[in-house]
Amino acid sequence: MTRRRGKKSKKTAHVMNPVNSESPPSQFVADEVDDELKKAKQELEAVQHKLDFQKLCNFTLANDHQKALTILELDKKLIEKQSEINSLTHQLDVEKLVSSRAKIQQDTQDLMLKLKILEDEEDQEAALKMEQETTESLRKRSNQLKEALKSNLKIKPWKDCQLCFQEFAINVDMVPRLLQCGHTICSACLRKLMKPTYTKCPFDGAVWRSSTTETVDDFPKNYKVFDM
Ligand SMILES: [Zn+2]
Ligand SMILES: [Zn+2]
């Protein structure tokens, strides 16, 4: 520094060589320039320092800005998630409502069906008719068994409809029909059993809903009875 300063002073002194008598002495000029240079250097340093500080501030600001952006992004994601959860919860509630409504409807239908069956069974006339029919078929069956015993025939009850005790056949009325519960009865008996909205198995009391358009032909044929 000292060396450079000395050199500079010399050079300045040479440049600023006085041309007239009013000019200040060369050493004075050199010192003045040196001071200005020092000041300028200081100012530069100050500016540099300020700039560095500003850079640091900017960096911090940028950093803060980035942080703020990240926070905003996270907030956005959080809100999206929350809204997704809300939507799902809502959907779940709706599904629950729909399913409970369906359950209530199902229960109501079941109750109405039970009520209908009770009403039908309370129908004295119908009950009496059914009883008479059963008595008649039992009488027939009794006669059949007597005949079978007399002629030493093998009795195969599965070959007969267990409601009317007539032998299954492929003719329209005696076609064996399989019920949903697994029992098999003839088409004629099934036709009598079928109510407009339901069918009830006479052997185990199983009930299943049927549409008004359903006929005996909608029940599967059970020709297995012929092979046994
Ligand atoms: Zn029958
Ligand atoms: Zn049954």
Q: 222: CA distance to ligand 2 center in Å?
A: 14
Per-residue pLDDT tens over the stretch 58-77: 767 677 777 788 888 888 88
The ipTM, to two decimals, is 0.90
Q: 100: CA distance to ligand 1 center in Å?
A: 41
Per-residue pLDDT tens over the stretch 20-55: 555 556 677 778 778 888 887 888 788 778 777 777
* Run of H or E residues at 184: strand 184-186
Fold category of 112-227 in CATH:
Herpes Virus-1 (3.30.40)
Locate the domains of the chain by residue range: 112-227
Q: Which ligand is nearest to the CA of 181?
A: 2
Three-state SS at 186: strand
- Helix ranges (H only) for the chain are 2-15, 26-122, 124-150, 187-193, 224-227
